[in-house]
Amino acid sequence: MALRNILCSLAFVSSSCTVIAKECLPAASGNETGDDSLGINNAIKECGQNGTIVLSSPQGYMLRTPIDLSPCKHCDVQVESLLKVGPGQPRFWIDIGHLIYIANTTGVRLRSVTGDGVIDGNGEEWFNRTEWVPPQWNGPALIKVTNQANDITIQNIALTNAQSRYIQLLGNSTRLTLSNLTMHSRNVLPRETETTPFGIETSESSLITISDVLMDFRSKTSPSSPNSLPVGNCAAFDLGTHDLSMHNVRCNNVWGGALVQYGSVSASHPPDITMSNLLISNFTFSGVKATGFQSLGVWEPKYVARNISWDGVTVYSGTPAEMNICYYRTHTNTPYPNTCPPRVNTLVTDLWFKNFRGKVGVMPTDPGWGNWNNISHVEAHFENWVDVGDGTVT
């Protein structure tokens, strides 16, 4: 590993040079059976305090164990090459909960300066496995931010073939920025339509900014089924998410777009947990379900959500807006699915669907829209929908 002093200051009272910042350039083994994670983790420990770690090996880096960015404090990690889960380990994603871990730290910047950085989860090897594993709610993540991480930026990187989740923002983390990202999955198993992959997933986190992101997920095809099915979810906002802004995001060929999904991360939230102040704007969607609310198993406590807005949504295909707090209970073989509709208890106020364009149909006008029973209360507002029947938007 090359290590370079970036800045040195010479104190008048000492003849020694004090290193203010360091730059580490870990080498890659060049062997696809090797594990370059060890060298990268050592570089993080060496240069993580106010330093820079540059991953620029032309051979790319093969990873067989996770990368831990928790020792980074006010550090700059520059991904200028390929980071890939090494081949021949389809159980990698069963045995770990993440590939890159950012926890209990502050000031981490994970980015590509050149735009050449790629992080590849090698999910296709997982999708082609012969072993059957049940679909995973809250599955492993390519990048997990948690445990009160603060001031974290992920920027200008191509993310590809995550096994389950691309980016999770969890654990009371705050001041989180995702920008100029692409997420592409190929050969996802059609039977995992609703669960694989998730692009961005949030819960118990705040002050989140997401901008300029493209997500495109494709299912496995065959001669008998030559067309890719919509798979996965672009953005799922679970309980505990506060003060989130998502702007200029495009979701292609996905099952779920930008959805509030109770229970996406956990089915065991505290009973008094809430969510508030989410704004999704300039959002473009093609797939099955563009916007709205769902519950993925969390339904009995009285959860409160307020000030949630979708403003400026273009829909090329799919349901433009949906409120289904009993989705999981009524679409699976879980016990007693019919008990959900009469018992679900949720309060949603200041819910807005504004400036929808494209294949959106007739704007809802029913004042009871989204209410399942007489104990829930959904206060939804709709404004300025323009339908173009064929989905063409000018």
**pLDDT tens column, 347-383:** 899 999 999 999 999 999 998 898 877 778 899 999 9
Compute the distance between CA of residue 54 and CA of residue 56 in angstroms, rounded to an integer. 6
In the prediction, which pLDDT does 329 show?
Answer: 46
Tell me whether the omega of the peptide bond preceding residue 71 falls within 30 degrees of 0, making it cis. no
Asked if 324 and 293 touch (Cβ cutoff 8 Å), the reply is yes
- Cβ-Cβ contacts under 8 Å for 133 (sequence gap 6 or more): 94
For residue 40, what is the enclosing H or E element?
Answer: helix 37-47
For residue 53, what is the enclosing H or E element?
Answer: strand 52-55
Position of tokens 């173009």? 388
Nearest to 207 by CA among 132, 268, 152, 273: 152
Lowest mean pLDDT among 17-31, 313-327, 345-359, 376-390: 17-31
Nearest to 50 by CA among 28, 72, 17: 72
- Residue pLDDT, tens place only, 190-235: 777 777 889 999 999 999 999 999 999 988 887 877 888 888 999 9
In this predicted structure, the answer to whether residue 272 has a pLDDT above a threshold of 90 is no
In the prediction, which pLDDT does 266 show?
Answer: 77
In the prediction, which pLDDT does 135 show?
Answer: 57
Terminal-residue alpha carbon distance, the chain = 53
Please give the CATH number for the structural domain made up of 90-128+137-387. 2.160.20.10
Rounded average pLDDT over 133-139? 64
